[in-house]
């Protein structure tokens, strides 16, 4: 960028950090990327956004993250014969080490980088606003997974290494203020003569600040909808929706995604989801791709109960037809030996595994429309909930490449056709569950905990509880380093997050 001092030695990122086309200015040196000696925002932003993508999908090292967790909690995924790939998930074995990287990498990677942006000089106010918006995005994910979290005293480095935990609802309310302030900052910065505008270093929106304001409103939408099942919150929710309406820029109109320059066939530079569940850089099907397949329930639901053409895009169709495996099945020889080997089951499909160069999705347009449908259904915003509901379904079809959705949602089937659905909320949440399958499935897990929909969702055969977990445990690393402040571990099956019924 022209306004940034270029003749500065950059000591930012450790050896082995992936360097993509938009990130080619990084020097590969042995310096801690989270404690840089010199910060230039064009370098920080793209890496922070890549950290965001890695947190939702599986990271470059193959670790399991939010989307994987959501797909297993929501009975979308199982495992084929010959693998013992998800034993802890099938047992709902929530411990202090279960998916602990979600907590750890939120703070040490993404949030720390975005916080660097929030503390820049005034000429970088666009970057500061982006940092604020993305901090709100990440903090909501943390609340939805853990409840109370370090917030007001977090990210202060050596000044305060043992931050207190803030109440989840208090964090939620402050996130709304942070997002409002970020939009105001963007508007104010646009009037400055020396403002530095992001460009190719912004691998989400390319420096389009209108899209950033719309994304801020869309994160607000998610935060407010998450609270709509609570009693005593309607006045607050209405006030906040009125602020969004008055602001006037509306919500996002496309899938929000990240692409730092994924390259097919190059080790360490493929889209991490594709590289983990599809083909590796050599073109070989990965072990995780062979191991991961549909459940029997989701196949029956899509194929027989709702006649959903998305099934052939969400799941690979074997020559013998779609076949799912019950979660936690141990006896693969019943009723037919070798019935559930990878070649005969429905692995992850072509609508999700598009290519090694595909974007990494952060927030789906389908969810945006379906959140608006729920808000309109409850009278918080203008708009026809039926139209918004159908737009959400069409956005899901569009992402998968499944064509026109009108025949599908025109069916007189509950939770498919709007008029045929006696419980409109059930229909909205069910369609959100389908639309987020394999993409941002953690959101449907949160919504299930909030609403109990989709109703009738099975649990794993190895479950020792009647329902799935509703939250994660605080990680072992936090118990060790910040034990005096960490709340007592809640019951992972009954201690719901504050917004849940």
DSSP 14-42: -TT----GGGTT--B-SS-TTS-SS--HH
pLDDT of residue 64: 87
Per-residue pLDDT band for 119 (boundaries 50, 70, 90) equals confident
pLDDT at 9 over 60: no
Domain count, the chain: 1
pLDDT at 455 over 80: yes
> Domain residues for 305?
65-98+291-352+364-469
Residue 383 domain-assigned?
yes
pLDDT of residue 39: 63
Burial class (CB in 10 A: 0-12, 13-18, 19+), 240: buried
Q: What is the mean pLDDT of residues 96-102?
A: 96
Kindly provide the b/e burial profile for residues 427-446, where b requires at least 16 CB atoms within 10 angstroms of the residue's own CB.
bbbbbbbbbbbbbbbbbbbb
| Angstrom distance (rounded) from CA 395 to CA 414 | 20
pLDDT at 495 over 80: yes
Which residues contact residue 285 at a Cβ distance below 8 angstroms, ignoring those fewer than 6 apart?
278, 279
pLDDT of residue 29: 29
CB 138 within 8 A of CB 114: yes
Dihedral pair phi/psi, residue 495, rounded to 5°: -90, 85
Enter the pTM of the model: 0.92
Residue 460 belongs to a domain with what CATH number? 1.25.40.390
| Residue whose C-alpha is closest to residue 471's, from 451, 498, 433 | 498
| Residue whose C-alpha is closest to residue 76's, from 497, 496, 416, 442 | 442
Indicate the SS3 state at residue 247: helix
Q: Name the token pair of 270.
A: 């493929």
pLDDT of residue 60: 58
Per-residue pLDDT band for 38 (boundaries 50, 70, 90) equals low
| Neighbouring-strand partners of residue 165 | 150
385-400 helix and 365-377 helix, angle to the nearest 10 degrees: 170
Q: What is the mean pLDDT of residues 399-423?
A: 98
| Residue whose C-alpha is closest to residue 393's, from 359, 416, 360 | 416
Q: What does the DSSP 8-state code read for residue 396?
A: H
Lowest mean pLDDT among 54-58, 79-83, 310-314, 482-486: 54-58
Burial class (CB in 10 A: 0-12, 13-18, 19+), 21: middle
Q: What is the mean pLDDT of residues 324-336?
A: 90
pLDDT of residue 2: 33
- The residue whose two tokens read 């509950």 is 414
Residue 141 domain-assigned?
no
Q: How many CB atoms lie within 10 A of CB 464?
A: 10
CB 457 within 8 A of CB 73: no
Residue 463 domain-assigned?
yes
Torsion of CA 203, 362, 92, 104, to 10 degrees: 40
Residue 172 domain-assigned?
no
pLDDT at 478 over 60: yes
Residue 392 domain-assigned?
yes
385-400 helix and 424-435 helix, angle to the nearest 10 degrees: 20
pLDDT at 5 over 50: no
Q: Name the token pair of 402.
A: 């499944």
Kindly provide the b/e burial profile for residues 121-150, where b requires at least 16 CB atoms within 10 angstroms of the residue's own CB.
eebbbbbbbbbbbbbbbbbbbbbbbbbbbb
pLDDT at 144 over 60: yes
The predicted-structure confidence for 237-282, as pLDDT tens digits, reads as follows: 999 999 999 999 999 999 999 999 999 999 989 999 999 999 999 9
Residue 265 domain-assigned?
no
Per-residue pLDDT band for 62 (boundaries 50, 70, 90) equals low
Give the DSSP per-residue string, 122-186: GGGHHHHHHHHHHHHHHHHHHHHHHSSEE-TTTT-GGG-SSPPEEPHHHHHHHHHHHHHHHHHHH
- The residue whose two tokens read 């208090």 is 170
Tell me the pLDDT of the chain averaged across its residues.
Answer: 91
| Angstrom distance (rounded) from CA 106 to CA 159 | 19
pLDDT at 19 over 50: no
| Angstrom distance (rounded) from CA 449 to CA 469 | 8
pLDDT at 154 over 50: yes
Q: Name the token pair of 193.
A: 């003569």
pLDDT at 31 over 90: no
Q: What is the mean pLDDT of residues 308-315?
A: 98
Backbone torsion region of residue 403, taken as left when φ is above 0, otherwise alpha when ψ lies between -120 and 50, otherwise beta:
left
Q: Name the token pair of 217.
A: 């409103």
Residue 338 domain-assigned?
yes
Per-residue pLDDT band for 156 (boundaries 50, 70, 90) equals confident
Q: What is the mean pLDDT of residues 53-69?
A: 83
Which residues contact residue 208 at a Cβ distance below 8 angstroms, ignoring those fewer than 6 apart?
none
| Angstrom distance (rounded) from CA 388 to CA 224 | 17
CB 137 within 8 A of CB 123: no
Residue 342 domain-assigned?
yes
């Amino acid at each position: 960028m022209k306004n940034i001092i270029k003749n500065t030695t950059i000591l930012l990122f450790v050896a082995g950090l992936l360097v993509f086309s938009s990130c080619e200015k990084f020097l590969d040196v042995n310096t801690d990327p989270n404690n840089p000696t010199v910060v230039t925002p064009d370098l920080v932003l793209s890496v922070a956004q890549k950290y965001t993508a890695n947190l939702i999908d599986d990271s470059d090292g193959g670790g399991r993250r939010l989307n994987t967790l959501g797909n297993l909690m929501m009975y979308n995924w199982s495992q084929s014969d010959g693998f013992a790939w998800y034993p802890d998930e099938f047992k709902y074995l929530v411990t202090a080490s279960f998916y602990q990287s979600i907590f750890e990498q939120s703070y040490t990677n993404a949030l720390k980088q975005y916080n660097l942006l929030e503390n820049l000089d005034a000429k970088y106010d666009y970057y500061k606003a982006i940092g604020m918006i993305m901090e709100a995005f990440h903090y909501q994910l943390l609340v939805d997974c853990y409840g109370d979290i370090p917030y007001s005293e977090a990210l202060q480095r050596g000044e305060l290494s043992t931050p207190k935990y803030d109440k989840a609802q208090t964090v939620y309310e402050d996130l709304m203020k942070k997002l409002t302030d970020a939009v105001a900052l963007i508007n104010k910065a646009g009037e400055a003569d020396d403002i530095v505008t992001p460009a190719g270093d912004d691998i989400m929106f390319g420096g389009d600040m209108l899209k950033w304001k719309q994304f801020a409103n869309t994160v607000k939408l998610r935060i407010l909808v998450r609270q709509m099942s609570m009693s005593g919150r309607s006045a607050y929710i209405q006030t906040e929706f009125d602020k969004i309406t008055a602001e006037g820029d509306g919500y996002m109109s496309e899938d929000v995604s990240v692409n730092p320059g994924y390259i097919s066939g190059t080790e360490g530079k493929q889209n991490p989801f594709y590289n983990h569940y599809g083909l590796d850089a050599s073109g070989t099907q990965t072990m995780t791709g062979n191991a991961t397949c549909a459940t029997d329930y989701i196949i029956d639901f899509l194929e027989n109960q709702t006649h959903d053409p998305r099934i052939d895009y969400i799941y690979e169709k074997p020559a013998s037809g779609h076949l799912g495996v019950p979660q936690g099945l141990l006896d693969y020889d019943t009723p037919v030996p070798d019935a559930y080997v990878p070649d005969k089951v429905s692995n992850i499909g072509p609508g999700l595994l598009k290519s090694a160069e595909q974007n990494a999705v952060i927030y789906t347009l389908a969810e945006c429309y379906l959140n608006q449908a729920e808000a309109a259904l409850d009278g918080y915003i203008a708009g026809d909930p039926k139209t918004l509901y159908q737009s959400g379904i069409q956005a899901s079809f569009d992402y998968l490449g499944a064509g026109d959705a009108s025949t599908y949602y025109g069916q007189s089937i509950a939770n498919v056709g709007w008029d045929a659905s006696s419980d409109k909320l059930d229909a909205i949440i069910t369609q959100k569950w389908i639309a987020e399958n394999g993409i941002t499935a953690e959101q449907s897990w949160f919504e299930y905990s909030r609403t109990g929909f989709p109703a009738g969702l099975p649990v794993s055969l190895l479950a020792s509880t009647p329902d799935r977990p509703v939250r994660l445990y605080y990680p072992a690393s936090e118990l060790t380093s910040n034990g005096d402040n960490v709340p007592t571990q809640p019951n992972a099956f009954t201690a719901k997050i504050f917004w849940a019924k």
